[in-house]
Structure 1
Amino acid sequence: MTRVTILGSINVDTILQIPRLPKPGETLAMSGKQVAGGGKGANQAIAAARAEADTAFIGKVGDDANGKMMLKALQNAKIDTTQISTSNYADTGEAFILLDDNGQNSILVDGGTNQEIKIGDIETAHETIENADFLITQFETPLTTTLAAFRYAKSVGVTTILNPAPAKTDLDPELLKLTDLIVPNETESETLTGIKVTDEASMNAAATALIKQGVKAVIITVGAKGAYYQTKANHGFVKAFKVDAVDTTAAGDTFIGALSSRLNSDLSNLPAAVLFANKASSLTVQKLGAQPSIPHLSEILADGEIKKA
């Protein structure tokens, strides 16, 4: 069983269903409202665990009802929450998601306790990191903490996966040199490289630019089209599964969590892992809400399009 440790965010999502995004100054009536677990880190952890990876989490919640709810949700998903601490100084993170009738979303985030994760928390979690095949993180927690975690992971031979979301430009160059696999979407890829992703040639150019900055391998996800992968040795494009999307909120997080559950630590089976992750994401977008929509392994394998490893 693959062992995955996630350093990341824990949020409670409030999903506001609307016909379309409002124009400046416009008032729109909502057609529905739902509260669900979220946060990119927590979503990725649940995706990995439901795909039957042995999953642990490093994070922080507040001493509040949302924090208790999220701890219970992660534990119910069979995630090791030993390294999730409770803060008395901030509330658990929250996200407010505007979801339109086409399944597209815009998201506002209050980081809360996610921004309180310190280097000391990484030092406390050294054993958890050391016991993993993969360490995964995103940009919803402090970058100084991410850098400390990746430094330690590489020192003990753990493969690092970086999801550079939300997109940032002020990165320490060392972070990319410590990254084995980076997984941006097309917008995040453009932010990191300055290259607009429009076709496979531009994906190749963007991925090449990232590899020149020190990463070993790149996956650029392009929504309903699929995902492009590139290593120093090869590259290719894996098409997405065609489905009718209801809510795309956790599609990218599901992709990364599911990918890590199937990936070899030397990245040698990258195309097969991308296909598996595409399938998992295609199931996620057909349901409402982030964590409620993330599929279990049995669902990913159900129709036989993906073979059991």
Structure 2
Amino acid sequence: MTRIVCAGHVNWDVTLQVDRLPEADGEARITGQRQAGGGSASNAAAVLAGLDVETTLIGSVGVDEHGHLVRREMDALGVETALVEVAEGETTVKYLVVDRGGEVMVLGNEGANEHYSVDDVDVAAIRGADHLHLTNQRPATALELAETAVEAGVSVSFDPGRRIADRAYDPVVELTDCLFVNDREADLVESEGLLDGVRTVVVKHGADGAEVREGATTVSHLGFPVEPVDTTGAGDAFAAGFLAAREDRTTAQALAVANACGALAARTLGARLYLSWDDVEAMLSVDQE
């Protein structure tokens, strides 16, 4: 069985669904709410575990109720959490306000999710993995993790998210085998000449699907028609689906699985997605109709 280590943010999310996003001094009506774990690394880990991938989560949470709930949730999903450092301070909490069209406004405290540092890197855990998946975190920590993986012959994927523009991730990208970016992020990275050394670049087009660029070859998939409820975590689910499928499926099939996972996340309130291969196969059947 493939073993993947996910490293990055581990949060507690409070999601409020509203009839509209209010303007300044405005008011909105809450139509739904949900609380669950969040953060890009733990979101990806949850989906990978649901798709039968042996998964370890690296990150940090506070010594508080939210940290306890996150760890208990991961344990229930079968995600190894022994490497999640219980740091001083509070677990990072994100408050997500989602309108009827799935658009999101995020509020958050600094919390403990970047307390995991270079000094905490467990070299043995990285060397024992088949793959390392990095998400947004301190650049120095991401680089140390990537270097440890490369030295051990472990492949590396990276989903830096929206902060790629203001964090010094260039050395991490240069060590990455598979990079996940959206259209804006792809243009930014390409303009800096960083894509030349990346073997696989996966570009997410939102509702318009995605494409995989491998050298001179591009494979595209148009995605799945769903009414979005909340797009939070859809990119994390997408990346996890691609990583879970690419070991024994073609690039085109892995991309379809990724889009299926992203679509399933987009129609679910909250960033955390609980699914199985049965859920994915049901969504993939839409392609065959």
Same fold per TM (> 0.5)? yes
**What is the CA deviation profile of residues 266-290 of structure 1, one whole-angstrom value per residue up to 9, with x for unaligned ones?**
xx93322111111122222222122
* Alpha-carbon distance, 1:172 to partner: 4.5
Normalising by structure 1, report the TM-score: 0.86
Deviation at 1:255, TM superposition (A): 0.7
Deviation at residue 23 of structure 1 after TM alignment: 2.1
SS in 2 for 1:114: coil
Listed as ranges, the matches of 1:234-253 within 5 Å are 234-253=217-236
Tell me the percent identity: 27
Distance in 1 between residues matched to 2:286 and 2:119, nearest whole Å? 41
Cα distance change on mapping 1:38 and 1:172 into 2, 3 Å: closer
1:297 aligns with 2:277: yes
Deviation of the 1:10 alpha carbon:
0.8
Shift of residue 114, structure 1, vs aligned partner: 1.2
Structure 1 unaligned regions, length at least 5: 195-205
Find out whether 1:57 has 2:57 as its counterpart: yes
Distance 1:121 1:306 in 2: 44
* Alpha-carbon distance in structure 2 between the residues aligned to 1:236 and 1:272: 10
- Secondary structure of the residue aligned to 1:211 is coil
Match 1:185 to one of 179, 182, 186: 182
Q: Deviations over 1:80-104 (max 9, x none)?
A: 111111112x211111111001122
Deviations 1:82-136 (A, max 9, x none): 1111112x211111111001122122333411111111211xx212111222101
| Residue of 163, 166, 170 corresponding to 1:167 | 163
Give aligned pairs, total. Answer: 286
C-alpha RMSD over aligned residues: 2.1
Contact preservation (8 Å) 1:241, 1:282: yes
Structure 1 residues 306 and 17: CA distance shift in structure 2, 3 A: closer
**CA–CA distance in structure 2, aligned partners of residues 137 and 180 of structure 1:** 11
- The superposition leaves residues 237-267 of structure 1 with CA deviations (integer Å, 9 ceiling, x where unpaired) of 11101122222112111111121111239xx
- 1:153 aligns with 149
Call closer, same or farther: CA 1:107–1:186 in 2, change over 3 Å. Answer: farther
CA distance in 2, matches of 1:30, 1:191: 37
* Aligned equivalent of 1:203: none
Please tell me the residue identity of whatever aligns with 1:9.
H
Distance 2:100 2:228 in 1: 10
Do the aligned partners of 1:250 and 1:294 also contact (CA within 8 Å) in 2? Answer: no
1:264 aligns with 247
Distance 1:282 1:134, change over 3 A: same
Q: Once the two structures are superposed, what CA deviation does each residue of 1:139-185 show, in whole Å capped at 9, x if it has no partner?
A: 1x211100000001001111111001132234243212101111011
Q: Under a length normalisation based on structure 2, what TM-score does the superposition of the two structures give?
A: 0.92
- Cα deviation, residue 52, structure 1: 0.8
| Cα separation, partners in 2 of 1:172 and 1:166, compared to 1, 3 Å | closer
Matched residue, 2:140: 144
1:201 counterpart residue number = none
The Cα shift of 1:306 comes to: 8.9
Residue 93 of structure 2 aligns to a residue whose secondary structure is: strand
Q: 1:42 Cα deviation (Å)?
A: 0.5
Partner amino acid, structure 1, of 2:168: L
Does structure 1 residue 278 correspond to structure 2 residue 275? no
Aligned twin of 2:131: 134
Partner in structure 1 of residue 38 of structure 2: 38
Aligned residue number for residue 195 of structure 2: 211
Label 1:179 to 1:303 Cα distance change in 2 as closer, same or farther (>3 A). Answer: closer
